[in-house]
Amino acid sequence: AATASKKPLTLAFEAVRGSRTDAVVVPEGYRAQVLVPWGTPLFDDQQWKASQPMDAERQSVSVGMHHDGMAGFALNESSASRRFVLALNNEYIDQDALWAPQGGPTNAEDGQRPAEESRTEINAHGVTLVEVQKEASGGWSHVVGSPYNRRLTSATVIALAGPVAGSDYVKTRFSPDGHQTRGTNNNCANGVTPWGTYLACEENWPNVFTHGGERFSDDARLGIPTERSRYGWETSAGDASEVEDEFARFDITPRGDSAAQDYRNEARTFGYHVEIDPYSGARAAKRTAMGRFRHEGCWLGKLDAGKPVVFYSGHDARNEYVYKFVSRAMWNPDDANRPGESYDRMAVGAKYLDQGTLYVARFNADGSGEWLALTPQALTPKGHSLAGALGLSDDDMAGLLVSTCDAADLMGATPMDRPEWATVDPTSGEVYLTLTNNSQRTAQQTDPTYTNDGSGVTQSGVGYATAPTNTANPRPDNAAGHIIRWREASDQVRFAWEVFVFGAGANDDDNLSGLTEMTQFASPDGLCFDEREGGQGILWIQTDNGYENVSGYTNDQLLAVIPAALDSDSPDAIINAANQHQLKRFAVGPNGCEVTGIFATPDKTALFINIQHPGNWPANGDALTQDATRMAQGAVRPRAATVVIEKQDGGPVAV
């Protein structure tokens, strides 16, 4: 906490009004620069042209599409705020933008996709690593041909690590021993480890698969489609042997005599945190001990020498859960990242992330909470062993992890309003979590002890069909979402929680936090606790909103707030406007976008954010010429991009 001698942190910028334009709006005295938009070549300095056809080879050496979570990795301490490896997730694709010069994708809705188009789309997904630098002129650029530049795509070979690796659950024709898979998909938010690696988190990955028969229960729970997959990659038409090798895996219907002869288990090699060493070309690893679900992201808890390393994560689906992974190994500060040095960071990752205990959260009505261990021996509230209740053998940790959400049901976890990002105040250890919205939250049979029993799982992959309100998710049909926070008890098994702020339109009846036109927001998604001097910090809030009471006023946005102290005695203590006098709108994104992916440089002079799925941005004077009407209206080929926001006087952002 701040000491009395420290000046309280204050937000010094002039808040911006809502905006509905094709531009990023920032406060007076600030500038915003577009950096590494989709399609930027990593190894040559060709200029982007909107008329440039994309192909698989070009996409494999260019920045991927639809930037989401990201982080910067310093190359040495002294230049950490001016030069670093930017790791960014390329969550999914906009097929219209990708295929604009050709007039759109081929057979996107039905029929066979050309193999080359599928390959290109596969290469537009994944993760981009690119060295970026601040130039003497003050602008930012990427370093063409940097040895750190690298792409991981939905086809890159990745190791499976932790308890699921090598188990029967993940044996495939590609990897009969179950130690590898190909690709990482739909990485949404991210994590950063203290040893200098990046965690990309697989979220909406079920949609790239299809299953034509009776699915495994975990595949059904997580929503593997039974019809065509999202992009139809499984239909790819081309040379028979190529098609079998590259694309058959997206249709996981059993075809062979055993799992090692087909791809029935392919989807079980997805749904994890993927650890990547941004400093080397080392093979990435899926850390299966941290659970398998639709991971939004992964956030490091308070780090203390001699204590376990903790990561929080949420399952972004309606009425799904919040998780905590606690390492078996105790944190040794000698393992902290040594920027620029070459050594085996993946081995450090294995030490902390391949063995540990996964917990799921129960939020009690009185403002207390409990972490429920997901171990085979754990006793369910009905008094059965968890392994037994799941129908597994006594020591089948791999089976439990593959069915993480079913295990969480059985232990009595609290169904949440779509957990998205979390962030941790590194001084106090308080954790903030966005609950973005929930159209399947009913006011009926309000019961603070209600837990899912597995019978309400939808078959469409969006969590439970319905759940009644509970105190942590108190609004029926929660259109605007809210943010909660908690603090761990000393035993690390209990915690105290409270609602931090409710999203709302200023004129809504349930505007429970007293938001005004200048602070109204809905569907909070990205979060970042940006630590400043004296243990104080700014909580950055980003939105991904479809709620018309707010979207009719403003595009998605970035807000800042200096959090008031946590009052663990009273869960409702800070939901009134008086405690949010420092909530202010800092930036607004262009039409059609979501504002996501955020970090500040160590010196706090640059704030990096991502603009995902913009509708008509960034304008670069190179209009797309396919559609005369849209061209006359100023239409461009939209490109997701990173945006760097700086103060014109070069000082720290926001204060």
B/e letters for 591-600, b = 16+ CB within 10 Å, e = fewer, are bbbbbbbbbb
Choose among ligand FEO, Ca ion, none what residue 203 binds, the Cβ cut-off being 5 to 8 Å by kind. ligand FEO
Give 259's contacts (C-beta < 8 A, 6+ positions apart).
168, 171, 172, 265
> Nearest to residue 398, comparing CAs of 291, 295, 473, 310?
291
Query: Site map for Ca ion, 503-542, x if CB under 5 A?
Result: ----------------------x-----------------
354: contact with ligand FEO by CB under 6 A = no
The DSSP output letter for 517 is T
> What residues between 416 and 435 interact with Ca ion by CB under 5 A?
420
420: contact with ligand FEO by CB under 6 A = yes
In terms of DSSP bridges, do strands 441-442 and 467-468 run parallel, antiparallel, or are they unpaired? parallel
624: contact with ligand FEO by CB under 6 A = no
Choose among ligand FEO, Ca ion, none what residue 266 binds, the Cβ cut-off being 5 to 8 Å by kind. none
> What residues between 262 and 281 interact with ligand FEO by CB under 6 A?
none
Check: CB of residue 229 under 8 Å from CB of residue 248.
no
Binding test (CB under 5 A) with Ca ion, winner from 544, 595, 635, 655: 544
Q: Which stretch, 64-72, 226-234, 304-312, 437-445, contacts Ca ion (CB under 5 A)?
A: 64-72
> Nearest to residue 198, comparing CAs of 125, 287, 319, 134?
287
DSSP-based three-state secondary structure for 130:
strand
DSSP string, 262-306: SSTTGGGG-SSEEEE-TTS-PPPEEEGGG--S-B---EE----TT
Is the sign of the CA dihedral 455, 459, 464, 466 positive or negative?
Answer: negative
Query: Site map for Ca ion, 150-189, x if CB under 5 A?
Result: --------------------------------------x-
Q: What are phi and psi of 247, to 5 degrees?
A: -115, -20
Binding test (CB under 6 A) with ligand FEO, winner from 22, 91, 251, 425: 91
CB of 506 to Ca ion, least distance (A): 22
Phi-psi region of 362 (alpha: psi -120 to 50; beta: other; left: phi over 0): beta
316: contact with ligand FEO by CB under 6 A = yes
Residue 442 one-letter amino acid: T
Degrees, nearest 5: CA angle 53-32-653: 145
Residue 175 one-letter amino acid: S
> What residues between 187 and 206 interact with Ca ion by CB under 5 A?
188
The DSSP output letter for 339 is T
> What residues between 162 and 191 interact with ligand FEO by CB under 6 A?
188
Tell me how far apart the terminal alpha carbons of the chain are, to the nearest angstrom: 18
CB of 545 to Ca ion, least distance (A): 9
Written as six digits, the tokens of 537 are 């910090």
- Identify which of residues 188 and 326 has a Cβ nearer to ligand FEO in the complex: 188
275: contact with Ca ion by CB under 5 A = no
Residue 430 one-letter amino acid: E
The DSSP output letter for 587 is E
CB of 640 to Ca ion, least distance (A): 9
296: contact with ligand FEO by CB under 6 A = yes
- Identify which of residues 195 and 540 has a Cβ nearer to ligand FEO in the complex: 540
Binding test (CB under 6 A) with ligand FEO, winner from 22, 94, 202, 203: 203
- Identify which of residues 335 and 420 has a Cβ nearer to ligand FEO in the complex: 420
- Identify which of residues 152 and 188 has a Cβ nearer to ligand FEO in the complex: 188
Give 100's contacts (C-beta < 8 A, 6+ positions apart).
50, 624, 626, 637
CB of 69 to ligand FEO, least distance (A): 9
Choose among ligand FEO, Ca ion, none what residue 218 binds, the Cβ cut-off being 5 to 8 Å by kind. none
> What residues between 209 and 238 interact with ligand FEO by CB under 6 A?
none
22: contact with Ca ion by CB under 5 A = no
CB of 420 to ligand FEO, least distance (A): 5
Distance (Å, rounded) from C-alpha 115 to C-alpha 238? 6
CB of 143 to ligand FEO, least distance (A): 28
Residues at the site binding Ca ion, with contacts judged by CB under 5 A: 68, 188, 420, 525, 544
**Footprint on this chain of ligand FEO (rule: CB under 6 A):** 91, 188, 203, 296, 316, 420
